[in-house]
Amino acid sequence: MIDQPNGRGGALRRGRFITLEGGEGAGKSTQVRLLVTRLEERGIEVVATREPGGSAKAEALRQVLLSGAATRFGPRGEAILFSAARIDHVDNTIEPALARGAWVVSDRFADSTRAYQGALGKLDSRLILELERIAIGNARPDLTIFLDIPPEAGLLRVSKRRNGKAADRFEAEGLAFHTDLRKAFREIAKTEPKRCVIVNALAPENDVAAAIWRAVETRLLQTTAKRPRRARRKEAAEERA
Ligand code: Z5A
Protein backbone atom coordinates (compact mmCIF):
# COMPACT_ATOMS: atom_id res chain seq x y z
CA MET A 1 0.00 0.00 0.00
CA ILE A 2 1.33 3.40 -0.93
CA ASP A 3 1.90 5.71 1.97
CA GLN A 4 0.33 9.12 1.60
CA PRO A 5 2.01 11.43 4.06
CA ASN A 6 -0.78 13.95 3.82
CA GLY A 7 -4.00 12.21 4.71
CA ARG A 8 -7.36 12.89 3.10
CA GLY A 9 -9.67 15.41 4.66
CA GLY A 10 -7.11 18.17 4.46
CA ALA A 11 -5.40 17.49 7.80
CA LEU A 12 -1.63 17.38 7.45
CA ARG A 13 0.11 14.33 8.84
CA ARG A 14 3.59 14.92 10.19
CA GLY A 15 6.33 13.43 8.00
CA ARG A 16 8.73 10.69 9.07
CA PHE A 17 12.34 11.29 10.01
CA ILE A 18 15.07 8.80 9.05
CA THR A 19 18.75 9.15 9.92
CA LEU A 20 21.74 7.21 8.62
CA GLU A 21 24.75 6.85 10.88
CA GLY A 22 28.06 5.02 10.88
CA GLY A 23 31.79 5.40 10.48
CA GLU A 24 33.76 6.92 7.64
CA GLY A 25 33.19 5.35 4.24
CA ALA A 26 30.28 3.24 5.44
CA GLY A 27 28.22 4.42 2.44
CA LYS A 28 25.84 6.84 4.16
CA SER A 29 25.73 9.45 1.37
CA THR A 30 25.33 6.72 -1.26
CA GLN A 31 22.46 5.13 0.64
CA VAL A 32 20.73 8.45 1.38
CA ARG A 33 20.57 9.04 -2.39
CA LEU A 34 19.19 5.56 -3.10
CA LEU A 35 16.63 5.74 -0.29
CA VAL A 36 15.39 9.16 -1.35
CA THR A 37 14.84 7.93 -4.92
CA ARG A 38 12.95 4.91 -3.67
CA LEU A 39 10.70 6.95 -1.37
CA GLU A 40 9.99 9.46 -4.13
CA GLU A 41 8.97 6.60 -6.39
CA ARG A 42 6.29 5.88 -3.78
CA GLY A 43 4.95 9.41 -4.19
CA ILE A 44 6.43 10.71 -0.94
CA GLU A 45 7.94 14.19 -0.75
CA VAL A 46 11.44 13.78 0.70
CA VAL A 47 14.01 16.26 1.94
CA ALA A 48 17.56 14.89 1.86
CA THR A 49 19.91 16.60 4.24
CA ARG A 50 23.14 16.10 6.18
CA GLU A 51 25.09 16.99 9.30
CA PRO A 52 27.03 18.93 10.14
CA GLY A 53 25.16 21.26 7.81
CA GLY A 54 21.78 21.06 6.15
CA SER A 55 20.90 24.75 6.53
CA ALA A 56 22.75 27.97 5.72
CA LYS A 57 24.20 28.73 9.16
CA ALA A 58 24.92 25.07 9.91
CA GLU A 59 26.80 24.72 6.60
CA ALA A 60 28.99 27.67 7.65
CA LEU A 61 29.78 25.87 10.92
CA ARG A 62 30.54 22.67 8.97
CA GLN A 63 33.61 24.32 7.46
CA VAL A 64 34.89 25.20 10.93
CA LEU A 65 34.20 21.77 12.40
CA LEU A 66 35.68 19.67 9.60
CA SER A 67 38.75 21.86 9.11
CA GLY A 68 39.87 21.04 12.65
CA ALA A 69 39.70 24.71 13.70
CA ALA A 70 37.33 23.77 16.53
CA THR A 71 39.54 21.00 17.95
CA ARG A 72 41.16 23.45 20.36
CA PHE A 73 37.84 23.85 22.18
CA GLY A 74 38.00 20.17 23.19
CA PRO A 75 35.17 17.60 22.97
CA ARG A 76 32.83 19.73 25.13
CA GLY A 77 33.29 22.77 22.92
CA GLU A 78 32.95 20.69 19.75
CA ALA A 79 29.76 19.04 21.09
CA ILE A 80 28.30 22.50 21.70
CA LEU A 81 29.27 23.68 18.22
CA PHE A 82 27.78 20.58 16.57
CA SER A 83 24.64 21.22 18.63
CA ALA A 84 24.53 24.89 17.61
CA ALA A 85 24.66 23.79 13.97
CA ARG A 86 21.91 21.25 14.73
CA ILE A 87 19.61 23.93 16.18
CA ASP A 88 19.71 25.85 12.89
CA HIS A 89 19.31 22.63 10.89
CA VAL A 90 16.30 21.47 12.92
CA ASP A 91 14.62 24.90 12.96
CA ASN A 92 15.12 25.78 9.31
CA THR A 93 15.17 22.47 7.44
CA ILE A 94 13.94 19.48 9.42
CA GLU A 95 10.98 20.84 11.40
CA PRO A 96 9.40 22.79 8.52
CA ALA A 97 9.64 19.71 6.28
CA LEU A 98 8.15 17.32 8.85
CA ALA A 99 5.42 19.81 9.69
CA ARG A 100 4.25 20.00 6.07
CA GLY A 101 4.18 16.19 5.84
CA ALA A 102 7.46 15.65 3.97
CA TRP A 103 9.83 12.90 5.02
CA VAL A 104 13.37 13.83 6.00
CA VAL A 105 16.42 11.63 5.40
CA SER A 106 19.57 12.89 7.10
CA ASP A 107 23.15 11.78 6.54
CA ARG A 108 24.20 11.78 10.24
CA PHE A 109 22.36 13.43 13.14
CA ALA A 110 22.49 13.42 16.94
CA ASP A 111 23.87 9.87 17.30
CA SER A 112 27.09 11.18 15.74
CA THR A 113 27.45 13.61 18.65
CA ARG A 114 26.73 10.77 21.08
CA ALA A 115 29.41 8.61 19.45
CA TYR A 116 32.18 11.08 18.40
CA GLN A 117 32.00 13.71 21.15
CA GLY A 118 30.19 11.66 23.84
CA ALA A 119 31.73 8.18 23.76
CA LEU A 120 35.04 8.99 22.05
CA GLY A 121 35.45 12.40 23.71
CA LYS A 122 34.54 10.81 27.05
CA LEU A 123 31.89 13.40 27.85
CA ASP A 124 29.29 12.89 30.55
CA SER A 125 26.23 11.35 28.91
CA ARG A 126 24.00 13.78 30.85
CA LEU A 127 25.62 16.70 29.00
CA ILE A 128 25.08 14.99 25.64
CA LEU A 129 21.43 14.23 26.42
CA GLU A 130 20.82 17.78 27.60
CA LEU A 131 22.35 19.18 24.40
CA GLU A 132 20.13 16.82 22.41
CA ARG A 133 17.06 18.00 24.29
CA ILE A 134 17.92 21.63 23.55
CA ALA A 135 18.87 21.13 19.90
CA ILE A 136 16.32 18.58 18.77
CA GLY A 137 13.05 19.27 20.56
CA ASN A 138 10.43 17.08 18.93
CA ALA A 139 12.53 16.25 15.88
CA ARG A 140 13.53 12.78 17.09
CA PRO A 141 14.26 10.25 14.37
CA ASP A 142 11.57 7.63 13.75
CA LEU A 143 14.17 5.28 12.33
CA THR A 144 17.97 5.24 12.45
CA ILE A 145 20.02 2.99 10.20
CA PHE A 146 23.52 2.23 11.44
CA LEU A 147 25.75 1.28 8.52
CA ASP A 148 28.20 -1.07 10.15
CA ILE A 149 31.58 -1.63 8.55
CA PRO A 150 35.03 -2.68 9.86
CA PRO A 151 36.95 0.60 10.07
CA GLU A 152 39.80 -0.69 7.90
CA ALA A 153 37.35 -1.20 5.03
CA GLY A 154 35.60 2.15 5.50
CA LEU A 155 38.86 4.09 5.69
CA LEU A 156 40.14 2.33 2.58
CA ARG A 157 37.06 3.39 0.63
CA VAL A 158 37.48 6.98 1.80
CA SER A 159 41.20 7.14 1.01
CA LYS A 160 40.56 5.79 -2.52
CA ARG A 161 37.91 8.45 -3.04
CA ARG A 162 40.18 11.16 -1.66
CA ASN A 163 42.74 10.30 -4.27
CA GLY A 164 45.75 11.96 -2.57
CA LYS A 165 43.87 14.96 -1.06
CA ALA A 166 44.31 15.71 2.69
CA ALA A 167 42.13 13.87 5.22
CA ASP A 168 39.69 15.96 7.28
CA ARG A 169 39.85 16.31 11.06
CA PHE A 170 38.03 13.01 11.78
CA GLU A 171 39.35 10.92 8.89
CA ALA A 172 42.83 11.70 10.17
CA GLU A 173 42.20 9.89 13.50
CA GLY A 174 43.91 6.49 13.91
CA LEU A 175 42.47 3.00 13.60
CA ALA A 176 41.87 2.65 17.38
CA PHE A 177 39.62 5.74 17.27
CA HIS A 178 37.55 4.32 14.41
CA THR A 179 37.32 0.91 16.10
CA ASP A 180 35.97 2.54 19.28
CA LEU A 181 33.60 4.59 17.18
CA ARG A 182 32.12 1.44 15.66
CA LYS A 183 31.60 0.03 19.18
CA ALA A 184 29.93 3.27 20.28
CA PHE A 185 27.45 3.18 17.37
CA ARG A 186 26.66 -0.49 18.05
CA GLU A 187 26.06 0.30 21.71
CA ILE A 188 23.57 3.07 20.83
CA ALA A 189 21.74 0.70 18.46
CA LYS A 190 21.56 -1.94 21.19
CA THR A 191 20.09 0.44 23.74
CA GLU A 192 17.35 1.73 21.41
CA PRO A 193 16.22 -1.28 19.35
CA LYS A 194 12.81 0.21 18.52
CA ARG A 195 14.42 3.11 16.70
CA CYS A 196 17.65 1.56 15.41
CA VAL A 197 18.60 -1.05 12.85
CA ILE A 198 22.14 -2.22 12.13
CA VAL A 199 22.87 -2.99 8.47
CA ASN A 200 25.98 -4.73 7.17
CA ALA A 201 27.65 -2.02 5.06
CA LEU A 202 30.35 -4.29 3.65
CA ALA A 203 27.78 -5.82 1.30
CA PRO A 204 27.41 -4.54 -2.28
CA GLU A 205 25.55 -1.22 -2.63
CA ASN A 206 22.30 -2.78 -3.87
CA ASP A 207 22.20 -5.32 -1.04
CA VAL A 208 22.71 -2.57 1.52
CA ALA A 209 19.94 -0.55 -0.13
CA ALA A 210 17.62 -3.58 -0.03
CA ALA A 211 18.26 -4.12 3.70
CA ILE A 212 17.55 -0.45 4.40
CA TRP A 213 14.36 -0.60 2.37
CA ARG A 214 13.17 -3.65 4.31
CA ALA A 215 13.61 -1.69 7.54
CA VAL A 216 11.74 1.32 6.13
CA GLU A 217 8.89 -0.87 4.88
CA THR A 218 8.42 -2.85 8.05
CA ARG A 219 9.01 -0.06 10.54
CA LEU A 220 7.53 2.96 8.79
CA LEU A 221 5.52 2.28 5.66
CA GLN A 222 3.47 -0.62 6.99
CA THR A 223 2.83 1.04 10.32
CA THR A 224 2.02 4.34 8.60
CA ALA A 225 -0.41 2.53 6.30
CA LYS A 226 -2.17 1.15 9.36
CA ARG A 227 -2.46 4.58 10.92
CA PRO A 228 -5.09 6.40 8.88
CA ARG A 229 -8.24 5.17 10.67
CA ARG A 230 -6.80 5.92 14.11
CA ALA A 231 -5.34 9.19 12.86
CA ARG A 232 -8.62 10.16 11.20
CA ARG A 233 -10.50 9.49 14.45
CA LYS A 234 -8.00 11.69 16.34
CA GLU A 235 -8.25 14.43 13.72
CA ALA A 236 -12.06 14.31 13.85
CA ALA A 237 -11.97 14.56 17.64
CA GLU A 238 -9.62 17.53 17.39
CA GLU A 239 -11.93 19.22 14.87
CA ARG A 240 -14.91 18.69 17.20
CA ALA A 241 -13.05 20.10 20.23
N1 Z5A B 1 30.61 14.59 13.31
C2 Z5A B 1 30.80 14.67 14.68
O3 Z5A B 1 31.90 14.48 15.16
N4 Z5A B 1 29.74 14.98 15.47
C5 Z5A B 1 28.50 15.21 14.97
O6 Z5A B 1 27.56 15.49 15.73
C7 Z5A B 1 28.32 15.11 13.54
C8 Z5A B 1 29.40 14.80 12.75
C9 Z5A B 1 26.97 15.35 12.96
C10 Z5A B 1 31.37 14.62 8.95
O11 Z5A B 1 32.12 14.18 7.91
C12 Z5A B 1 32.24 14.42 10.16
O13 Z5A B 1 31.69 15.10 11.28
C14 Z5A B 1 32.26 12.96 10.53
C15 Z5A B 1 31.80 12.89 11.97
C16 Z5A B 1 31.76 14.29 12.43
N17 Z5A B 1 33.53 12.41 10.44
N18 Z5A B 1 34.26 12.36 9.45
N19 Z5A B 1 35.02 12.31 8.63
P20 Z5A B 1 31.64 14.04 6.41
O21 Z5A B 1 30.19 14.40 6.28
O22 Z5A B 1 32.61 14.75 5.56
O23 Z5A B 1 31.95 12.51 6.20
P24 Z5A B 1 31.23 11.21 6.67
O25 Z5A B 1 29.92 11.51 7.26
O26 Z5A B 1 32.13 10.39 7.48
O27 Z5A B 1 30.94 10.50 5.31
P28 Z5A B 1 31.92 9.90 4.22
O29 Z5A B 1 33.28 9.70 4.75
O30 Z5A B 1 31.78 10.74 3.00
O31 Z5A B 1 31.38 8.47 3.97
P32 Z5A B 1 29.93 7.91 3.66
O33 Z5A B 1 28.97 9.00 3.35
O34 Z5A B 1 29.55 7.00 4.73
O35 Z5A B 1 30.20 7.06 2.36
P36 Z5A B 1 29.93 7.38 0.80
O37 Z5A B 1 30.40 8.75 0.46
O38 Z5A B 1 28.57 7.01 0.43
O39 Z5A B 1 30.91 6.29 0.19
C40 Z5A B 1 32.30 6.36 0.36
C41 Z5A B 1 32.98 5.62 -0.83
O42 Z5A B 1 32.66 4.24 -0.78
C43 Z5A B 1 32.50 6.14 -2.19
O44 Z5A B 1 33.56 6.11 -3.07
C45 Z5A B 1 31.43 5.12 -2.58
O46 Z5A B 1 31.29 5.00 -3.96
C47 Z5A B 1 31.96 3.85 -1.96
N48 Z5A B 1 30.89 2.93 -1.53
C49 Z5A B 1 29.70 3.25 -0.95
N50 Z5A B 1 28.98 2.14 -0.67
C51 Z5A B 1 29.73 1.10 -1.09
C52 Z5A B 1 29.54 -0.33 -1.07
N53 Z5A B 1 28.43 -0.89 -0.55
N54 Z5A B 1 30.52 -1.10 -1.55
C55 Z5A B 1 31.66 -0.54 -2.05
N56 Z5A B 1 31.91 0.77 -2.13
C57 Z5A B 1 30.96 1.59 -1.64
**pLDDT level of residue 10 (50, 70, 90 thresholds):** low
Residue 190 half-sphere exposure, CB side, CA atoms within 13 Å? 6
User: Of 7-16, 52-61, 223-232, which range is least confident?
Assistant: 223-232
Alpha carbon 72 to chain centroid, angstroms: 26
Index of the ligand 1 atom closest to the CA of residue 161: 44
Q: Does 235 sit in the ligand 1 pocket, CB within 6 Å? A: no
Give the pLDDT of residue 101: 97
Distance 115 CA to ligand 1 centre (A): 15
Report how far residue 11's alpha carbon sits from residue 22's, in angstroms, rounded to the nearest whole number.
36
CATH class of the domain comprising 8-240:
alpha beta
Distance 172 CA to ligand 1 centre (A): 13
- Label the pairing between strands 103-107 and 46-50: parallel
pTM of the model: 0.90
Distance 194 CA to ligand 1 centre (A): 24
Peptide bond just before 75 cis, omega within 30 deg:
no
| Residue 4 confidence (pLDDT) above 60 | no
**What are the pLDDT digits (tens) for 143-195?**
999 999 999 999 999 989 888 888 787 878 889 999 999 999 999 999 999 99
Report the candidate in 135, 168, 127, 171 with the shortest Cα–Cα distance to residue 58: 135
